[in-house]
Structure 1
């Protein structure tokens, strides 16, 4: 390690010498010395430590080139064909540039991109004031990802004329007045200008390093210092600050919401809608004006160690811009981010010929979280998903539940350790997942503690966005025969990432922070030997889903590792659930065939599939209004029957230009008025678990109903190799 560090120190010194003689370039953004040093480190790690054998050659260079262009302009709205032709000189040379830590090609491309974005914004500001005729039969092509690059500015102007016209039409359909529409769009385009002007050299570096990392494998990435900090916060579900979510309105950073129980909430003076105009610290008393700042820069000023004081100068929501401001001193403290923590509820499932419903417990787990530092320091109150779920199981037992549903929908994963320990709550003991590293060595992650927190009926509810640790857990429950997996096939991410802190290799402790690499260093396999990679976990009982499975999930990602298998581990299944699955599935299908809400779901899926293939939208006002009225009528009829008008699948939305492509670096938090009742799929999962509870308690009933199934209904879904 000392030899490696000395080489990096030599590189650092040599770059200082080179930089001293380089003439300043007339570019808006330039690479920094610490970024060249970070490039040197990242290149070594990515080409030597990655699970996938990686060679820094012309082939990889070409993939990096394509990925970088794609990350910058995925919809081909900004670059001209002549720009791409000019960039082609870099296609086979980026490998050489990375070897020499030469970032200039990346910055050259990015600066052209910035200029092109500014040109498009200027055009849009002018176009919104031009006359628009919505009786002309023409279309706005909102998906140009596969289109050819525009050959001229005139061609781009035509594309953007239609984009602005679409922006205007979408607002016109809401019955806004023309003056209000123009004002709204002017503000939208001003926000685009603001965001492009806020870009910094580290933003360019992050784009390029991620193009490099993702050209190897889709789950390898570079995390900037700020991204690294936010990742750590999300894993331990806490931070030290004031407990407020920030948004942005025009030039002002605003309080989007106050975290319940946090310092700001307890203080009581800071309210949602207040505008922060300056931030100060207790040690110097100076207030720093933050009007027009990026949100992440404001966040950095507000965050701080527990017990310290931050001073906020705010304009209350009901005070005009010229009105008096207020200075609020708040003592920072630890803020728990409870919205990501495990939560429980009890659903009551009606039972025929019984006055008493069956009580089914539901545990919603949005992420597999673990406070790594708290665990390492053996803090008694450190947060982990396993600890929280164990506590919730105890509470649900006290409420007399007959079965459990673990809801992992949209859970993208998290800690591998937590996937193992959480599985241990539902199996006696044994291996949970097999892990193979880049050398081919296979290790086992095991539950070594005998006993179960819950040994009763169990289902794991998943969807296409359940990934990684979620798939480890679901696969283990399926392979052990401990419960049913219900829902959609999962995402298919079967790889393990490790974080490498580049600062650990800095020449000195006071060197600028360089961020981290999230690098794929292993692949995990089920205890039955199959992989979740690329194929995901196939549910025992499948719910209908929208879209083509080949168009989402791991299999749709560039450079994804293929599916593979190894020998099974030695484990003892709890039982064969094939008969139970077959009967429960038959009951489910019989129950929902005439269910109105289920049929609405099928109709929504059909509508989604119809729209999902579209790449353009009509700019005829009459046609747009007719489609809007058809949708409103459909939902109105539904609401009249059931009191709910919401679509049951995520609709394909037509972009209205409000998004600044991939450069939006913050999202305003919005209040989400959720329905307290269970959604259709959760309700059905609870009913399936209630069926399982009945069938497991009456084996004679199970065998009789299984024998009555038609031959093609007896396939079951026993644990099996993928």
Structure 2
């Protein structure tokens, strides 16, 4: 590594010297910075990755395949001849990277931008005239089944079909809503002719596609470089990624549930940046002048010159509004009465409540506690953010005051997070002991244990998982399952059994070369984790004790469907003692009997077959009559699934009294949480989880 650092340092001296001594162009500087990033990237990957790769022709070919797939994923810009031209470097990318050449990458960007420019007028041209919907033709919506066009005529024809399909979707929706209004004799509905609706559908499609092309054109060189860098890291495994500084900041905020800003929820409406909600207790709320419905037109940092944000994308505008705690932002807003006002707000730390654990008391013969955990969040920003293990303990203590008989922890759609947090959380349910085994590339095994004898919950326990429960979710579910401490219920989990850590690339540059900092960080797969029984969740996931029907059970999902996943293997089991309190055969048998008799679960089983059928049938007719017939059939099919979201007899729920008191006068939050509880009590999976809790003696 030191040799690498010396080489990078020497190169940096040259780069800095050139910048100082000449009118060095930004374009050249970007590529020199990219040289440094790749040097640091390969050094870090070689030293830290669980399974370092040899940079050879095979590696180069994998980079080529992954990058070209991501460069033009829908095959609407590049020609097959462009791919063939880029293909001349398919076995040379490794040599180019090692020798600090960017022929392949530079050519790919030049070609893509050229083709993007050529297509800008196609959208307007193809949507300028009424569309003939009587022709019998089809449009393929699964891009993996399509190929790159050989000629301009072929590609333009694909664009024609694409925009025709987009217009059809809007037109069908408009006609359907109008027909329902006429059927209901809605006098407030203004009936429009087919021609008028067709014009309106084309206009909306034109606007949507113009915005799409605008976003593609605004992608920065740094963002395009990140796409290429992640095609390189993606060859190692799907979770090793390069993060540009801005992307790392967003990751930290998402995983910690915190950001620094003003506490206003924003949305775009007819191209305007509007305030949709003020978060109670936030700087905006305390300042008092910014209101829902206000339009933000300019943003100034303190007394600096304001920036007009009316033509910016919402993400760009938000970046101007966010800022360090304690700093001032001045918003020029257009109020609902059309008056213009400048509102100064001092930024502070804002918590995103949707990130955190929350609970409810459910009633199904007994009181049962329910905790929803969206992620295994922790203090990634090191600003005093909350940790999910401590929050879980708090929710359990609140539920215990309600005298609940059992506890359900919902990890569905929880993609994971902090390894340390999940070890702490598992320890809430059993005394001291191993939680997960971790192994690095040197085959050294580390058994991560809960060392705290205190148990927060020793009663009946059910963990809910689904296809999107990954990583830390699988660690918790696997540990509870291996200890036989509780029942795992739902569908097989995602199958991610690897551990990543961030390496800050800035740490390998000497302080005197701050001119090119920050260069970003790389998230590297450094370890694999294993169950305490010695098996791995990698690729296989966690198979629930109680398997429930699932709409996607016939669809291939999870880690095994990603590019270049790590293989499955196993290691010796850890030393642990199983609980003997649950009669698993009896609980499983009772659940299977209920599911077999359940009209809702039988409906889900038929839905799964329809989903599979529709997944394979990805072509749509572009004939209006045939398209509308197909869509009506789909809507009729979907109507029967509305039964799955109806109230369940004998099943109810409520917020905890502690939470109601905490929300206080925040009626918006209280209403939102009450709606959440109501939806919880309509969930047949949660209902079955309460049945399982009642079966655990």
* Both structures adopt the same fold (TM-score exceeding 0.5): yes
Equivalent position SS for 1:565:
coil
Q: Judging changes above 3 Å, is the alpha-carbon distance between structure 1 residues 385 and 200 closer, same or farther for their aligned structure 2 residues?
A: same
Aligned residue in 1 for 2:370: 362
| Gap runs ≥5 in structure 1 | 350-356, 646-670, 697-722
Equivalent position SS for 1:173:
helix
Aligned residue in 1 for 2:117: 118
Q: Judging changes above 3 Å, is the alpha-carbon distance between structure 1 residues 250 and 507 closer, same or farther for their aligned structure 2 residues?
A: farther
What is the CA-CA distance between 1:273 and the residue it aligns to?
4.5
What is the CA-CA distance between 1:612 and the residue it aligns to?
1.0
Distance in 2 separating the partners of 1:677 and 1:472: 25
Deviations 1:643-696 (A, max 9, x none): 589xxxxxxxxxxxxxxxxxxxxxxxxx9976534211111111111111xxx2
Aligned residue in 1 for 2:679: 676
Aligned residue in 1 for 2:164: 165
Distance in 2 separating the partners of 1:466 and 1:565: 21
Root-mean-square deviation (Å) = 2.7
Is residue 206 of structure 2 the alignment partner of residue 183 of structure 1? no
Aligned residue in 2 for 1:566: 571
Deviations 1:689-715 (A, max 9, x none): 1111xxx2xxxxxxxxxxxxxxxxxxx
What is the CA-CA distance between 1:638 and the residue it aligns to?
6.1
Aligned residue in 2 for 1:330: 345
Distance in 1 separating the partners of 2:420 and 2:462: 21
What is the CA-CA distance between 1:175 and the residue it aligns to?
2.1
Q: Judging changes above 3 Å, is the alpha-carbon distance between structure 1 residues 184 and 18 closer, same or farther for their aligned structure 2 residues?
A: same
Aligned residue in 1 for 2:193: none
What is the CA-CA distance between 1:640 and the residue it aligns to?
8.5
Aligned residue in 1 for 2:56: 57
Is residue 524 of structure 2 the alignment partner of residue 519 of structure 1? yes
1:280 and 1:311 in contact (8 A); partners too: yes
Q: Judging changes above 3 Å, is the alpha-carbon distance between structure 1 residues 475 and 14 closer, same or farther for their aligned structure 2 residues?
A: same
Q: 1:293 aligns with which of 297, 312, 326?
A: 312
What is the CA-CA distance between 1:4 and the residue it aligns to?
5.0
Deviations 1:82-141 (A, max 9, x none): 100110122111112221333452132023223323333421221112332222211111
2:123 and 2:210 in contact (8 A); partners too: no
Q: Judging changes above 3 Å, is the alpha-carbon distance between structure 1 residues 155 and 372 closer, same or farther for their aligned structure 2 residues?
A: closer
Q: 1:225 aligns with which of 222, 226, 245?
A: 245
Distance in 2 separating the partners of 1:144 and 1:687: 43
Distance in 2 separating the partners of 1:392 and 1:454: 11
Which runs of structure 2 are paired with 1:75-474 in the superposition (5 Å)?
75-175=74-174, 177-249=197-269, 252-282=272-302, 284-316=303-335, 318=336, 324-349=339-364, 357-372=365-380, 374=382, 382-474=385-477
Distance in 2 separating the partners of 1:279 and 1:608: 47
Equivalent position SS for 1:588:
helix
| Gap runs ≥5 in structure 2 | 176-196, 649-671
1:430 and 1:448 in contact (8 A); partners too: yes
Aligned residue in 1 for 2:14: 14
Distance in 2 separating the partners of 1:348 and 1:157: 59
Deviation larger for 42-51 or 14-23: 14-23
Deviations 1:560-585 (A, max 9, x none): 111100011111222274xx222112
Distance in 2 separating the partners of 1:116 and 1:390: 55
Aligned residue in 2 for 1:553: 558
Deviation larger for 297-306 or 226-235: 297-306
2:549 and 2:601 in contact (8 A); partners too: no
Aligned residue in 1 for 2:44: 45
1:368 and 1:419 in contact (8 A); partners too: yes
1:191 and 1:250 in contact (8 A); partners too: no
1:30 and 1:107 in contact (8 A); partners too: no
Equivalent position SS for 1:593:
helix
Equivalent position SS for 1:676:
helix
1:87 and 1:109 in contact (8 A); partners too: yes
Q: 2:692 aligns with which of 688, 695, 711?
A: 688
Aligned residue in 1 for 2:506: 503
1:406 and 1:460 in contact (8 A); partners too: yes
Aligned residue in 1 for 2:621: 618
Distance in 1 separating the partners of 2:119 and 2:60: 29
Equivalent position SS for 1:534:
coil
What is the CA-CA distance between 1:639 and the residue it aligns to?
5.4
Number of aligned residue pairs: give it: 648
TM-score of the superposition, structure 2-length normalised? 0.87
Deviations 1:591-618 (A, max 9, x none): 2323232233223222211211122111
What is the CA-CA distance between 1:210 and the residue it aligns to?
0.6
2:130 and 2:199 in contact (8 A); partners too: no
Distance in 1 separating the partners of 2:241 and 2:280: 33
Q: Judging changes above 3 Å, is the alpha-carbon distance between structure 1 residues 142 and 506 closer, same or farther for their aligned structure 2 residues?
A: same
Distance in 1 separating the partners of 2:255 and 2:5: 30
Which runs of structure 2 are paired with 1:474-489 in the superposition (5 Å)?
474-489=477-492
Q: Judging changes above 3 Å, is the alpha-carbon distance between structure 1 residues 226 and 372 closer, same or farther for their aligned structure 2 residues?
A: closer
Higher fraction of helix: 2
Deviation larger for 599-608 or 134-143: 599-608
Deviation larger for 492-501 or 607-616: 607-616
